Amino acid sequence: MNYAIIAAGEGSRLASEGFQLPKPMVPLCGEMMIDRLIGIFMRNQAERIRIIINENSPELEAHLLELRKDLPIDIIKKSTPSSLHSAFELLDGVAGIDAVCLTTTDTIFREEEFAEFISAFESNADLGGQMAVTSFIDDESPLFVHVNESGIITAFTDSNEMQTPYISGGIYCLRKKAIEVLGKSVRSGTSRMRNFQRQLVAEGIELKAYPFSKIVDVDHVSDIETAESFLSQEHLA
């Protein structure tokens, strides 16, 4: 499996609250978020791990360059206007990527559930994509995910008028046709990841929702404690 990490955000909210290092270097239970993700990917048969960082993260770049000596990491250094544009830089036109698991650096989940998520995607070659969803809502602007009785995604909405239990978890497995839609979406002027997800549905790409019990995003300093408590419970389970 190929993996890709969006680590190009400025982390402005964390910086305004006193955390001065790049966001991917936030420590959780003694391990940087970026290192935790890389470790999980390596334990799930990573062939390559492509990581995009912004142009103002020398500490993060130095750290990843050190890791790259021993791990199959490709680093792209480019500041982008959105996570969708970061995904485009990671995936568009890259030879040899027929399927990929893409996530942002601050998505915290249970490793056991992630391994099952990857196994489910790899065992169903007919899917155009598989997306993590969760019923745990701790997001400032959640994206609601609507599914049919088979778990196939039928719509992404900004409000929950259809009473779905699920929101997007920010972990995306995409096959070649979905990656091609990503390129087309950005070139047409789309500027948000959620609008790309809507375009996937509009173009008939079959997407399966895969429920996680809980996914935590780290956007504020207070989220660090929440994420550490969540990971501590995982280790005790």
For residue 169, the enclosing domain spans 127-214
With b for 16 or more beta-carbon neighbours within 10 A and e for fewer, the 175-186 pattern comes to beebbbbbeebb
Q: What is the mean pLDDT of residues 133-137?
A: 89
Whether residue 132 is found in the same domain as residue 91: no
DSSP single-letter state for residue 133 = E
Compute the residue count for the chain.
237
pTM: 0.93
Claim to verify: residue 103 and residue 140 sit in the same structural domain = no
Q: What are phi and psi of 98, to 5 degrees?
A: -95, -15
- Are 61 and 97 within one domain? yes
Average pLDDT over residues 63-76: 98
Report in angstroms the alpha-carbon separations of 128 from 17, 60, 173, 194, 203: 40, 33, 8, 17, 11
Question: How many domains would you assign to the chain?
Answer: 2
Looking at residue 93, its pLDDT comes to 83
Residue 222 lies in a domain: no
Are residues 1 and 101 part of one domain?
yes
- 12 vs 70, residue with greater confidence: 70
> Do the domain assignments include residue 234?
no
Are 98 and 138 found together in one domain? no
Amino acid identity of residue 155, one-letter, is: A
Specify the amino acid at residue 233: Q
Predicted confidence (pLDDT) per residue in 11-50, tens digit: 677 767 777 788 899 999 999 999 999 999 999 999 999 9
